[in-house]
């Protein structure tokens, strides 16, 4: 089994214990999912990350960190005179807020070359991308990515998509909504978060979210809803999976990313959809009890 995640990994500056000091790390939604999948996926699964990165020192550190996470770096494209995106976490009375510098990030060029995309996808069985992957691209290269994903799906690859709605990364909500539904139209599996979908698409309940993605051509929809039950829908059959209660929620960063890794790991092992969703819930339940995006986990 070969899993390919496509997107942007960024440098992260997180407050260290001494005020004013910061710890350098690397994270990003699709990268986080790849990192968790490398931990909980099938034994024989090769996890690769597809992105574009610069050629400076920070890029070398990022590539080493990706590799240290057990993720193959063969599909990291080097772009001259570019660097990686950066975000800084600020803490105010325990509340985290984020500042981003990603406008010039090399990852914006990840879909410039259709040949590189095609080669990576041909060598993969499951291909994963997100609404953030789409948001960082220009319209023309977004279309290049859609074409490559559409061709991969037609050739039998499984395409998985987290809409991950981030209106701040888009010129307008309309543009975001249109691109996200285009992403859904080339996907077999969609993993939306109800709260975001309700805010931007006006869905009355998780069933409405599942219905909308199914109508766009997605076969399997799994609707996350924080601590609430996860609704899933496959070929018009619906079901729910209760989220196990977590007594001490410390930090929900990467809850959705790790959940997606659990679900995809289960599906790659040919488990039932309910079993796969349950694995996602148990993994995310461990992740919300630790700090930061990348929490050391064993298979739940
Ligand atoms: P996202 O991070 O994409 O917004 P959610 O907040 O819906 O996603 O969370 C994803 C998954 O993480 C949930 O389906 C659930 O399994 C787990 N999770 C999130 N918040 C909690 C919580 N407070 N208690 C237990 N599990 C949680």
Domain residue extents for the chain: 2-287
Give me the catalytic one of 147, 248, 257, 275: 257
Residue list, ligand 1 pocket, CB within 6 Å: 193, 224-227, 230, 243, 246, 249, 252, 255-256, 259, 281, 284-285, 288
The Cα 190–Cα 260 span in angstroms is 10
Question: Please, what is the Cα angle at 187 between 170 and 111, to 5 degrees?
Answer: 55
Pairing of strands 22-27, 10-15: antiparallel
Nearest CA to ligand 1 atom 21: 227
Q: How far are the Cα atoms of 42, 71, 216, 243 from residue 142, in angstroms, in the given order?
A: 31, 24, 18, 35
| Residue (of 172, 175, 168, 211) closest to 192 by Cα position | 211
Q: For residue 198, count other CB atoms closer than 10 A to its CB.
A: 17
Q: In sequence order, which ranges of 171-222 are alpha helices (DSSP H)?
A: 173-185, 194-201, 206-215
The Cα 131–Cα 136 span in angstroms is 9
Give the distance from CA 96 to its chain's centroid: 20
| CATH class, range 2-287 | alpha beta
Q: What is the pLDDT of residue 206?
A: 98
Structure-block tokens of residue 289: 């009890």
B/e letters for 216-254, b = 16+ CB within 10 Å, e = fewer, are bebebbbbbbeeebbbbbbeeeeeebebeebeeeebebb
Q: Pick out the chain residues at pLDDT < 50.
A: none
Does 298 qualify as catalytic in the annotation? Answer: no
How many angstroms does the Cα of residue 222 sit away from the middle of ligand 1?
12
């Amino acid at each position: 089994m070969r899993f390919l995640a496509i997107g942007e990994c960024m440098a992260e500056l997180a407050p260290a214990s001494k005020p004013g000091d910061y710890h350098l790390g690397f994270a990003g939604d699709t990268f986080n999912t790849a990192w968790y999948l490398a931990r909980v996926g099938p034994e024989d699964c090769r996890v690769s990350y597809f992105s574009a990165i610069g050629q400076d020192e920070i890029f070398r550190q990022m590539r080493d960190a990706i590799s240290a996470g057990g993720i193959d770096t063969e599909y990291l494209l080097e772009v001259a005179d570019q660097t990686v995106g950066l975000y800084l976490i600020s803490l105010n009375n325990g509340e985290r807020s984020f500042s981003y510098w990603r406008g010039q990030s090399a990852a914006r060029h990840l879909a410039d070359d259709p040949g590189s995309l095609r080669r990576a996808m041909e060598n993969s069985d499951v291909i994963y991308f997100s609404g953030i992957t789409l948001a960082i691209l220009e319209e023309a290269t977004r279309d290049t990515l859609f074409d490559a994903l559409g061709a991969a799906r037609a050739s039998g690859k499984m395409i998985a998509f987290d809409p991950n709605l981030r209106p701040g990364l888009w010129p307008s909500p309309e543009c975001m909504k249109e691109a996200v539904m285009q992403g859904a139209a080339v996907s077999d599996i969609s993993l939306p978060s109800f709260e975001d979908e309700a805010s931007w698409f006006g869905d009355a309940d998780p069933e409405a979210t599942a219905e909308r993605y199914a109508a766009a051509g997605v076969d399997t929809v799994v609707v996350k809803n924080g601590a609430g039950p996860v609704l899933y829908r496959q070929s018009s059959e619906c079901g729910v999976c209760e989220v196990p209660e977590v007594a001490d929620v410390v930090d929900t960063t990467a809850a959705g990313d790790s959940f997606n890794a659990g679900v995809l790991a289960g599906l790659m092992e040919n488990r039932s959809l309910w079993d796969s969703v349950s694995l996602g819930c148990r993994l995310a339940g461990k992740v919300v009890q630790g700090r930061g995006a990348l929490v050391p986990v064993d298979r739940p």
